Amino acid sequence: MATLNESWVAYWSGRPLPSLKQTRDKLQPLMRRPERTSPADVAEIVLRDPLLTAQVLRAANQRVRSGLAADVVSVESAVMLFGVAPFFERFCRGPTVDELMAGDAARLDAFRATVLEIRFAARLARDYAYRRFDARLDEVYIAALLQGVPRLLALVATQDPAAPAPVSQATDLLASWKLPEVVIALTREDGEAQPRLTLQLAALRLAQVLGQGWWQPEVQRELKLIAPVLQCEEGAAWDVATGLMLGFARREYTGEPASPPARWLPMLPGPWPKPPAPKAVQPLTAAVAAPKSAQTAPASASASVPASPRASVAAPPAALNVMAERLRALQQAGRERAAANHIMSLAVRALADGLAMRRIMLALLTPDGSVLRARFCHGAAEADPLRNLALPLGVPSLFSRLLERPQCVRVDVPYRGEIKSLLPTDLVRQIGDGAFCAMSLFVHDKPLGILYADRAHKLDEAEYHQLRQLCQLTSAALAAGAVSSGGG
């Protein structure tokens, strides 16, 4: 006998997912001129509709493909895969949510309000991920959108008396649709406690509770989880949320049958009760459960009046973080699809200014991929062999291992174990025998070269985390620039 979750997953395994009439209306002008419409223009509209986003990614990842075909993570990539005109033909037909719920205004209003809540949560997750210098913001935003899909499907399924009872958890549903694992991983509430997942789930829980008022104790609890991941004060994390709340209310809620979370911001501190749940629809269990270790105890009669999250932070703003500024500039260069030489200049500045590296060397693969050769060197003396590094890749080494995939490494002295075996005499002669770090550079799945750096003292854990972020952002920016220039 099928479990409740299996029945729900099976019910939606092949059913089409309806889109909003508002989405269809926005796509109509583009449908009349597909030859002048870019995939990015289409994706921008689709990403405002969680069910259409799910429908597109489900179709793209369930297609018949060869063993070498990659997963499709972004909607823009899916549109490019189908082609603009065929995309319109395939996804802009069939009934809309508005048509399916035409006889139930309250249900339609609840659906539209839920879409707004999901979009707000996805924006908040993306904004926090941006401040963590996440190199793959598409994954964060789409995972957050899809996390809310079961809530919308529950509203759609009420039209069918034969539909099984809804399930609020999205992971099994997305897995049955063969969506990419990198997206599914961000929906796992029981996943390994990596900073990326911790931030994602905390942001979604925060977005959910903000609709009940900023004074709820859960707000402070989530900020306490978010701030360490962002390496900032809780007040700074709160400023991100309030800024989005105000901007989202101004841009998104005009003419909508719902009220934005920002409506509670003018409230003064006090023992305010939770607002009542909307009567139009029975809410599902919270899509993202709070950590068991952080469940809030029931408030007692003597509970103190909550202070605003901003006021609860007594510490002054942190001093300017040079590395954070350098990473932000590199992230922006990727968004603007800057040229490769500008991106590499920013990466070198991040190593020199943010991590105080002494020698920095960029080595690129020769056209035939057989030799790694120095192309740029900073901080090394004229006679330093590092300036003229030439490493044949026929002999296994740490650098040839790094070029297998985007990654970085921190090597301390004395060299030991496998690291020592991967540092042949010829390589040590050219780079020296001290501690160093190195990261591989890729454009999509093609290795480009190695960025090497060293200094007098070793990296601590926080600095090594920043180095990994630098590695991810540099490769992501180079890939974006390659798309812009028509390469790769």
Query: What structural domains does the chain harbor?
Result: 4-270+285-294 (1.10.3210.10), 322-485 (3.30.450.40)
Quote the CA–CA distance of 215 and 274 in Å, as a whole number. 9
Quote the CA–CA distance of 456 and 332 in Å, as a whole number. 30
Burial of 238 (0-12, 13-18, 19+ CB in 10 A): buried
Q: Quote the pLDDT of residue 444.
A: 79
Contacts for 389 with CB less than 8 Å, ≥ 6 apart: 361, 363, 372, 373, 374, 430, 431
- Between the alpha carbon of residue 165 and those of residues 6, 150, 153, 452, the distances in Å are 11, 11, 11, 56
Closest among 284, 282, 249, 264 to 212, alpha carbons compared: 264
Quote the CA–CA distance of 381 and 111 in Å, as a whole number. 65
**Orientation of helix 50-61 relative to helix 137-147, angle to 10°:** 110
DSSP designation for 424? -
How many whole angstroms from its chain centre is CA 215?
Answer: 28
Contact status, residue 186 vs residue 227, Cβ threshold 8 Å: no
Quote the CA–CA distance of 16 and 14 in Å, as a whole number. 6
Question: Which two tokens mark 396?
Answer: 């296994």
Q: Quote the pLDDT of residue 67.
A: 56
Contacts for 461 with CB less than 8 Å, ≥ 6 apart: none
Quote the CA–CA distance of 141 and 47 in Å, as a whole number. 9
Closest among 194, 178, 171, 175 to 289, alpha carbons compared: 171
pLDDT by 10-residue block (mean), the chain, 488 residues: 73 90 94 90 95 94 70 91 92 90 91 95 95 89 96 91 85 92 91 86 95 90 94 92 93 85 85 65 51 47 53 44 85 86 89 90 93 92 92 93 91 88 93 92 88 89 87 86 59
Per DSSP (E only), the strands in 344-444 are 359-365, 371-378, 390-392, 408-411, 436-443
Q: 71 — phi, psi (to 5°)?
A: -65, 150
How many whole angstroms from its chain centre is CA 253?
Answer: 24
Question: Which two tokens mark 227?
Answer: 């701030």
Residue 190, CB-side half-sphere exposure with 13 Å CA sphere: 4
Contact status, residue 355 vs residue 478, Cβ threshold 8 Å: no
Quote the CA–CA distance of 235 and 317 in Å, as a whole number. 9
Quote the CA–CA distance of 146 and 172 in Å, as a whole number. 12
DSSP designation for 13? S
pTM of structure: 0.74
